[in-house]
Amino acid sequence: MATPLPTDQINLTDEESRIMAVAGGGFEQCYNAQAAVAAGSLLVVVADVVQAPNDKQQLTPMLDKIGTLPDVLGRPDMLLADNGYFSEANVQACVAGGIEPLIALGREAHHLSLQERFAAAPPAPEDPTPVQAMAYRLRTPQGRALYALRKQTPEPVFGIIKSVLGFRQFLLRGLNAARGEWRLVTMAWNLKRMFALSRAVQPARPVPQARQRDRTAQNGADRGADAPIPTQVRRRPRRKSDRLLACAASSAGAPARPHRPKWR
């Protein structure tokens, strides 16, 4: 029977949490919160919390969860993810599920030259493997433009959840409780986002004719006889596609931490 070593550690606040590296250096007691976000609406489609600090192991479970969604919600055609999710197995899992993957093969270089930024697409490889085909797509102008959407899809969602909704650490203890809390937070974000989308497509309220005549006459009297009469403007519905998904994890920024109780 194995016994704990003298160097083994345990967290007395939440023993199901794990020590994870955080951005900027150092380690903290964390959970790894995952989310798949639709590129068109920025709605969170699937959310989960895991104990593993490595994101490579989380892409296939997220694809399985996406596959269980009702058909009325549609199916994604493409998936965007950063280098933390890259592995040959993950690429093959996307292809097997009928999803075109665009997963970064490495860290992107900053401040590219004009020649590199607007370089023509290289020749397509002959009989490529799934990884080689994805690498070629990422080097084409169309692939680079699509992958750039990742920066404006999951990153704003996590930023607003942290800075606007104020969720920067878990208040509940235990993996199952943390999962429920994260799903509640993402549900709150979806409600907030759906309200904003509904306002964007909501037509302007019609004005009764009598009130419109009185308002037009008053405007003409105030502005002069030759002044232009303002017209009523209606917002056009936004045409967006939600068939593009992007995956991200909260450990990429400030990690979600178990609640530290205050001692009195």
CATH number at residue 136: 3.30.420
Give the integer Cα–Cα distance in Å for 188 and 229. 42
pLDDT at residue 25 tops 60? yes
Q: What's the confidence (pLDDT) of residue 128?
A: 92
* 87 inside domain: yes
Count structural domains, the chain: 1
Give the pLDDT band (50/70/90) at residue 244: confident
User: What pLDDT is attached to residue 17?
Assistant: 92
In the chain, the percentage of residues whose pLDDT exceeds 90 is: 51
Examine residue 78 and state whether it is found in any structural domain, yes or no.
yes
Q: What is the pLDDT of residue 224?
A: 52
At residue 202, does pLDDT exceed 90?
no
Report the alpha-carbon distance of residue 202 to residue 205 in Å, rounded.
9
Q: What is the pLDDT of residue 239?
A: 40
> What is the structure's pLDDT at 259?
43
If you average pLDDT over every residue of the chain, what do you get?
81
Residue 241: what pLDDT? 47
* pLDDT of the residue at 44: 95
Q: pTM to 2 decimals?
A: 0.74
pLDDT at residue 129 above 70? Answer: yes
Provide the domain limits for residue 125: 18-107+118-199+241-252
65-72, Cβ contacts within 8 angstroms, sequence gap of 24 or more? 65/36, 66/36, 66/245, 67/97, 69/45
Asked if the model's pLDDT at residue 186 lies above 90, the reply is yes
* Residue 7, helix vs strand vs coil: coil
Cα→Cα distances 29→12, 20, 53, 107, 247, Å = 11, 6, 11, 26, 22
Q: State residue 232's pLDDT score.
A: 40
Residue 232 maps to a domain: no
- pLDDT value for 195: 93
59-115 pLDDT per residue, tens: 999 999 999 999 888 889 999 999 999 999 999 999 999 999 999 998 777 777 777
Rounded mean pLDDT, 170-199: 94
Q: Does 91 fall in a domain?
A: yes
| Per-residue pLDDT, 78 | 94
If you ran DSSP here, which 8-state letter would residue 148 be given? H
% of the chain surpassing 70 pLDDT? 77
Q: How far is CA 155 from CA 6, 38, 52, 91, 248, in A?
A: 41, 12, 21, 22, 8
In a domain, 136, yes or no: yes
Confidence of residue 51 (pLDDT cuts 50, 70, 90): very high
Q: What is the pLDDT of residue 208?
A: 62
Higher-pLDDT residue of 106, 206: 106
Q: Is residue 59 part of a domain?
A: yes
